[in-house]
Amino acid sequence: MATANDRAVLQSIFHPNNPFAELSGAESEKEAEGEEGAFDPELLGRATELEALGVAQAETGDLEEALVTFGLAIQLLPERASAYNNRAQALRLKGDVAGALEDLDTALRLSKGTGSVACQGFVQRGLIRRLQGQEDEARGDFEQAARLGSAFARQQLVQMNPYAALCNQMLSEVMKQLQGPSQKEPLLGQLD
């Protein structure tokens, strides 16, 4: 069973615009209409329902069922990016990083690198790449997501900036000095 923290993490992964919305509700709805308008409305409705079910299954920790459900959504509309993006998150949570990266690449290709699905895909791929030590590739993904409006991606870029890291280290040292000497560090001029 997932903890409250696990559920919060899943919520932010599967529902990137809720509650930490980076687009207003109206902008998000307008964008979704543009992205989804090319699909048969009946198939789109069924695929969307399957994705919602898959998300709910993942949120309860049933990743195997979630993967099956996302697979069904992909079978209905194989050219729809959203289901690949959602399945990538379930694969990553299951530990299948290679499968997650493959689905993220597919989601980004299908979305043509635009819209909310692409934004989330770039963020997720950037996080995986950063964890794998691929800093340059991660930076590129975060830059793309930042261009699409992700505040989280902008924060990641700041953290990855070597000048920001140096500044943070210097600030930390100054704060330690202001707090006074520790018990382990001898004062200047103090005899041993």
- In order along its 192 residues, the chain shows pLDDT tens digits of 455 555 555 655 665 444 233 433 333 433 444 456 678 899 999 999 999 999 999 999 999 999 999 999 999 999 999 999 999 999 999 999 999 999 999 999 999 999 999 999 999 999 999 999 999 999 999 999 999 999 999 989 988 887 766 676 777 788 888 887 655 555 555 554
For residue 187, tell me if it sits in a domain.
Answer: no
For residue 191, tell me if it sits in a domain.
Answer: no
For residue 159, tell me if it sits in a domain.
Answer: yes
Q: How many domains does the chain have?
A: 1
For residue 189, tell me if it sits in a domain.
Answer: no
For residue 186, tell me if it sits in a domain.
Answer: no
- Please answer whether residues 157 and 146 qualify as being in contact, where contact means their C-beta atoms are separated by less than 8 angstroms: yes
The pTM assigned to this predicted structure is: 0.69
Question: 43 to each of 1, 79, 109, 112, 123, how far by Cα in Å?
Answer: 32, 12, 21, 21, 28
For residue 138, tell me if it sits in a domain.
Answer: yes
The whole-angstrom separation of Cα 153 and Cα 106 is 20
121: CATH: 1.25.40.10
Task: Give residue 113's domain range.
Answer: 4-179
Residue with structure tokens 């409305």? 41
For residue 110, tell me if it sits in a domain.
Answer: yes
